[in-house]
Amino acid sequence: MLRKYLRVGLTLLLFVTLLTSFVMLADVLEDSSRFEHLYSTLLIVSSSGLFIIGFLIISNLYQLIQQIRKKRPAALLTARLTILFIGVSITPVLIVFYFSLGFINQRLENWFDTQIEQSLSSALQLSRAALDSNLRDTLNKTRKMAAQLSSLEDELIASELNVQRQQNGVSELLVFAPSRGEIVAVSSDDTGKLLPKRPEKNLKFRHREDQVSLQPLTENGLFVQAIVRYQATTRPDPTERYLVAWFAISPEISSLATNVEQRTNSYQRLAYLRTSLKSSFSLVLSLIMLLTVLSAIWAAFVAARQLVRPIRNLVEGTKAVAAGDYDKQLPISHLDELGFLVESFNQMTRKIREARNVAHRSQHRADAQLTYLEMVLARMSSGVLSLDSELCLRMSNGAAEHILGVSLAALKGKPLLESCANYPPLQTLCEGVETHLKAESTDWTEQLTFFGTGGRKMLLCRGAKLPDLDGQGIGHLIVFDDITQLLQAQREAAWSEVARRLAHEIKNPLTPIRLSAERLRHKYLADFSEKDAQTFERMTHTIIQQVDAMKEMVDAFSDYARVPQIVIKPLILDKLVNEVLDLYPSKIIERHLKYVQIEADAGRLRQVLHNILKNALEANSIDPHIIVSITTHKENQSHCVELKIQDNGHGVSEDVLGRIFEPYVTTKTKGTGLGLAIVKKIIEEHGGIIWMENNPDGGANVIIKLPACA
Amino acid sequence: MRFLLFFFIIAISSQTIASEGLFEIKSAQTHLEHDRYFLDANINYELSEESIRALQNGIALTIVFQIEIIKERWYLWNEKVANFTHHSILRFHPLSNHYVVSYIEKDKSYAFTNLAELLTNLGILREIPLLEKSQISNEHSYQVRLNTYLDIEALPPSLRTVAYFSKEWRMFSDPFNCPLS
C-alpha cells in the first residue's frame, strides 16, 4: 500500500513539475523577466521529465510485450485497450498541435509587417537627419569658438569660455592640451558639478580632423559632443589645443528621437528574434504536446492495466479453479460491476470448496467403510462374491479364493457365468448358482459338492439380491462356506461313537466266548471219537479264530475311537522319514528330502508313514517304486512342510478319492478300512492336512502338509 | 547553476562541433603594488558575424571574464582560493551609431564609434585588483587562471536554445594560466 501511494505521489509530483515548467516557459517566452534566468533550466527539467515519462512508457510497453509473449491472462485485451485509449487520446492532441503550430507561426509573421519596419526605419533616418543638421551647426559653432580662443593666452581662456558658452548656449566647454595631457580650462552650466567631463580614453585625440557626434551615454537627454582642434597662436611656437563642447539637444527633440530609437531598436530586436521565437514557441508547444501525448500513452497503459486487472484476476482464478485450486480468492478493488463479478466468483469458489470438502469427507468415510468392509471380508472364513446387475464379478474376498482354489483377480469385471468355462474349478459352483441368479431369487440356499484343486469339497451357498453400487440395477451376493470339514467331522464323530460302542458292546462278550470255546475243546475233546474230535477241534478252532478276528477288528475300532494322547516335541522331519524308510528296501524308494524341523509326536508320525508306505507298496506289488519328497512353502505368512509319497500303482477312482480317508472306505479286499482314517486323524491332531490325488503319469500321491518351525 | 549549465552544454556540443576559438587571451601577468596583487591582460576579442548582426539588431551581448586564484598543492587537487567575475555588456545605439560597452562591476560605460575600437579597448585590461598579499601564503605557489566567454544565458530566452547548439554563438577562450607574483 505504501509503495502504491509512493508511486502515485511521485507521478503527481512529476506531472506538477512538468506543468509548472511549461507554464514558466510560456511566461518566459511572453517576455516576462520573472523566470528568464531559469529558461534553460526549465528546458532541461522539462526534457528530463519527458525522458522519464518516455522511459516509463517503454518499461510498460516492454512488460506488455513480455506478458503477450508469455501468454499471460488478458495480456492481449490490455494491448487492445491500450491501443484504443492511445488512439482516442492522441488524435485530438495531434490535431490541436498542428493547428496551434500554424496559428503561432501565422501570428508571429503578422507581427512583422514590412510597412511598419519601413516606417520605423524612416523615422529613425528622419531623426538622424534632424540631428545631423544640429550636428553641423554645433560643429560650426565650435569651430568659431575655437577661432576666438586661438588668439588668447591660457590664463584668459577660462573667462572667454564662460562668455562663449553663454553666447552659444553650450552646456559645457573644455580646452584640452594634449601635449601636457591636462585640461586648460573648463566652463559648465551645471554649477554644482565639481569636475568637468574628462575626455574619455576613446577620444584620445588621435583624429586630426574635427569630430562631432551624438553621445548615447548621457542621462539628461541627448547631447552632442564636438571636438575641434586648433592652434594656440599666442606663443612663438603654435601649440595644439582641443576644444570640446557639449551641446544639449532640446528636450522635445531628444525625447522624440530617443523614443523613435527605442521603438526601432525594440522592433529590430523582435524582428531579429523572429526565427528563434518561432523555434522556441514551437519547441515549447512541442514539449507540451509531447507531455500530453506521452502522458496520454502512459495513462492509457495504466488505465488499461487497471481496467483489465479484475478480468485478469478472474481469468487466473478460473484457471486455478480449473486446476483444482478452490482456495483461490480474488481481491476486490472496486465495488462496481466488475467488483460484483469478482465477489460472485469468490462466493462460487467458496461454495465449490465447501462442496469439495464435504465430498472429500464423504469419500473419506466411504473409503474407511470400504476398508473396514474389506478387512472384515478378508478375515471372514466364508467366501463372498458380489455380482453386479450384469452378473459380472465386482468383489470377492480371500476366503472365496481359498475355498475355490483359484485367483479371482483376473475375473473382476467379467461375467462370472461365462468366465467359469475358462476356470474348470468354478464350473460346479457356477452350475449350482446359475439357476438362482437367472431366476433372480431374493434369498436362496444351496449345498454344492465342489471338485477343486484341493479335492472334493462341500459348499453351503447362500445368495441374496443386492442394490447395484451404481444404482442402476440389482446385483447379487453369494456367500459360501466350506462345510467339508464340518460334515466330515460329523461323520467321524458318528463313526467314533459307533466304534466306541462296538468296542464296548462287542469286545466284552468275545473273551468269554473264546474262553468257553477253549474250555469246551479242552474238556470234551478227549471224549469224542477221532472223527468227531477232528470236527469238534475244527469248530472250536473256527470259533476261537473268528473271535480273535472280531477282537482284532474291535481293537481297530478302539484305536480309531480312542482320544489321542500325543506328545509334541521338536523333531527333524527328514531324519525321522529316513529312519522309517531305512526299514524298507532302498532300491524301491527314491528320496528327495531336505532338512526341516517341525513339532510333532514322533511315534504317531512313524505310524502314519508306515501306513502310507504299506498302502503304496500294496498299490503295485510286482514292481513297486515309491518317491518320497519333502518341500517347504510359505502360505499366509506362515511356513509349512509338504511331505509327498508317490506310488506307481493304478491310482484311485475319482468317486473314492474324495472319501478315501473316511472309515470303511478302502480299495483293498482285506483290511478294516480304518488305516487311512486313523492317518488322517493323526495328521489333523498335528494341525496338518492330508489329501490324496491321482498322478497324471499314473499312481497316486498322498500329500501331507504340516506347520513348520519358524 | 548557469555556469554549470553553460559548461554542460559546451561539453556536449564540443563533442560534435569544433570550437571557433574567437576569444583568445594573448598575455596576462600580475604584479604586486601596495600589498595588493593586480592583473594586466591582453585579450583578443572577435565576434562572429551572427553575433554582430544580433548586436546591431538590438541584442545585448554579455562577455564574462573570469579570474580564479588557484593554490597549488602536492596532495589531492588544487584549491581555489578566490574567484572574480567581470561582466561586460555590449550594446548598439542606432541613433548615434555608437557601440557602448558597460562594465557592470565598475558601473561605467564607454561609447565607441566602431565595434573594432570597442573590442580593442575591451581586450586591454589593466590594474584589475586581485587579492591582498596577506591573503596569500608564502609556503604555497599560486596560479591565476583566466577564462572569458560569451554568456549565452544572458541572451534573450528565445535565442538561447539556438545559441547553445550553434557554433556562431559559442565564443570562448581557452583557459590561460599565469603565476601570481
The minimum CA-CA distance between B156 and chain A, rounded to whole Å, is 8
Terminal Cα-to-Cα distance of chain B (whole angstroms): 32
Q: How far apart are CA A298 and CA A7, in angstroms?
A: 14
Residue range A193-240, pLDDT digits in tens? 545 555 554 454 555 677 888 877 666 667 888 888 888 777 666 678
Highest mean pLDDT among A11-25, A119-133, B127-141: B127-141
Interface probe with A: pick from B8, B92, B95, B115, most Cβ of A within 10 Å: B95
Region A434-449: mean pLDDT is: 81
The full DSSP string for A605-651 is HHHHHHHHHHHHHHH-SSS--EEEEEEEEEETTEEEEEEEEE--S--
Are residues A202 and B117, on separate chains, in Cβ contact within 8 Å?
Answer: yes
Alpha-carbon distance A525 to A539, whole Å?
A: 11
Contact A202 B121 (CB under 8 A): yes
Sequential DSSP letters for B123-138:
TEEEEEEEEEGGGS-T
* Distance, CA of A328 to chain centre: 13
For residues A262 and A273, what is the distance between their CA atoms, to the nearest angstrom? 16
Query: Between B94, B111, B160, which is nearest A215 by CB?
Result: B111
Cβ-defined contact of B57 to A264 (cutoff 8 Å) = no
* Bigger pLDDT: A175 vs B86: B86
d(CA A505, CA A545): 19
Nearest to A202 by CA among B121, B123, B102, B115: B121
Q: Which of residues 155-214 of A touch B (CB under 8 A)?
A: 200-202, 213-214
**Beta-bridge partners for B42:** B27, B124
Amino acid found at A595: Y
Supply A521's cell numbers: 475243546
Indicate whether A538 pLDDT > 90. Answer: no
**Judging by DSSP bridges, how do beta strands A589-592 and A626-635 pair with one another?**
parallel
Average pLDDT over residues A611-617: 89
pLDDT at position B145 is: 93
Lowest mean pLDDT among A15-29, A141-155, B2-16: B2-16
Here the ipTM equals 0.79
pLDDT at B19 over 50: no
Q: What is the pTM of this model?
A: 0.54
Worst-scoring range by mean pLDDT, A191-195, A344-348, A365-369, B32-36? A191-195
| The amino acid at A463 | G
Output the pLDDT for position B2.
46
Q: Given phi > 0 = left and psi -120 to 50 = alpha, else beta, which region is A350?
A: alpha
CA–CA min distance B144, chain A (Å): 28
Per-residue pLDDT reduced to its tens digit, A471-522: 666 788 889 888 877 877 787 777 777 777 777 777 778 888 888 888 888 8
C-beta of residue A403 within 8 angstroms of C-beta of residue A383: yes
Grid cell listed for A269: 530586436
pLDDT tier at B13, thresholds 50, 70, 90: very low
Interchain pair B158, A261: CB under 8 A = no
Section A84-102 average pLDDT: 87
Cα A14 to Cα A17: distance, rounded to the nearest angstrom: 5
Cell of A710: 519358524
Counting every residue written for chain A, the total comes to: 710
Position A285 scores a pLDDT of 82
Counted residue by residue, chain B has a size of: 181
Closest Cβ–Cβ partner in A124, A216, A283 for B98: A216
Contact A606, A679 (CB under 8 A): no
- How far, in Å, CA of A673 to CA of A208, rounded? 179
Chain A nearest C-alpha distance from B151 (Å): 12
* Interface contact A128, partner B, CB < 8 A: yes
Rounded CA separation B63/B150 (Å): 5
> Is there a contact between B178 and B38 (Cβ–Cβ < 8 Å)?
no
| B-chain residues near A266 (CB < 8 A) | 58
> Is the CB of residue A510 less than 8 Å away from at least one CB of chain B?
no
Query: In angstroms, what separates the C-alpha of B174 from chain A's closest C-alpha?
Result: 24
Measured distance CA(A537)–CA(A555) in Å, rounded: 26
How sure is the predictor about B140, in pLDDT bands with cuts at 50, 70 and 90?
confident
Burial of A654 (0-12, 13-18, 19+ CB in 10 A): exposed
**Which residues of chain B have a CB within 8 Å of the CB of A261?**
93-95
> CA of B148, closest CA in chain A: separation in Å?
20
Q: Which residues of A touch B113 (CB under 8 A)?
A: 213
Q: What pLDDT, in 10s, does the model give residues A456-480?
A: 577 888 888 877 666 666 788 889 8
Q: Long-range contacts of range B78-86, CB-CB < 8 Å, 24 or more positions apart?
A: B78/B143, B81/B131, B81/B135, B81/B142, B82/B130, B82/B131, B82/B135, B84/B128, B84/B130, B86/B128
Rounded Cα distance, A36 and A29, in Å: 8
Given a cut of 50, whether residue A563 has pLDDT beyond it is: yes
Span A50-73, average pLDDT: 87
Backbone phi, then psi, for A675, in 5-degree steps?
-55, -55
Q: Which residues in chain B touch residue A42, judged by CB atoms under 8 angstroms apart?
A: none
d(CA A217, CA B93): 10
A259 CB within 8 Å of a chain B CB? no
Choosing among A273, A281, A285, which should be mutated to test the B contact, i.e. which has the most B CBs within 10 A?
A: A273
Test B157 with A216 for CB contact under 8 angstroms: no
Partner residue facing A41 (CB), from B1, B93, B100: B1
- Nearest residue, CB atoms, B5 vs list A41, A213, A269: A41
DSSP A412: B
Predicted confidence at residue A36, as pLDDT, reads 65
- Whether the Cβ atoms of residue A647 and residue A699 lie closer than 8 Å to each other: yes
Give the count of alpha carbons within 13 A of A45, CB side only: 19
CA distances for A336 relative to A303, A330, A586, B147, angstroms: 16, 15, 104, 68
Mean pLDDT of chain A: 81
Q: Do B110 and A127 touch (CB under 8 A)?
A: no
Say which of A216, A258, A280 has its CB closest to residue B161.
A280
pLDDT top residue among B94 and A30:
B94
Q: Inter-chain contact B54–A272, Cβ cutoff 8 Å?
A: yes
Q: With 70 as the cut, is the pLDDT of residue A34 above it?
A: no
The pLDDT mean for chain B works out to: 84
pLDDT(B14) > 50 = no
At A442 the three-state DSSP class reads coil
CA distance A282 to A104: 8
- Cβ neighbours of B119 in A, within 8 Å: none
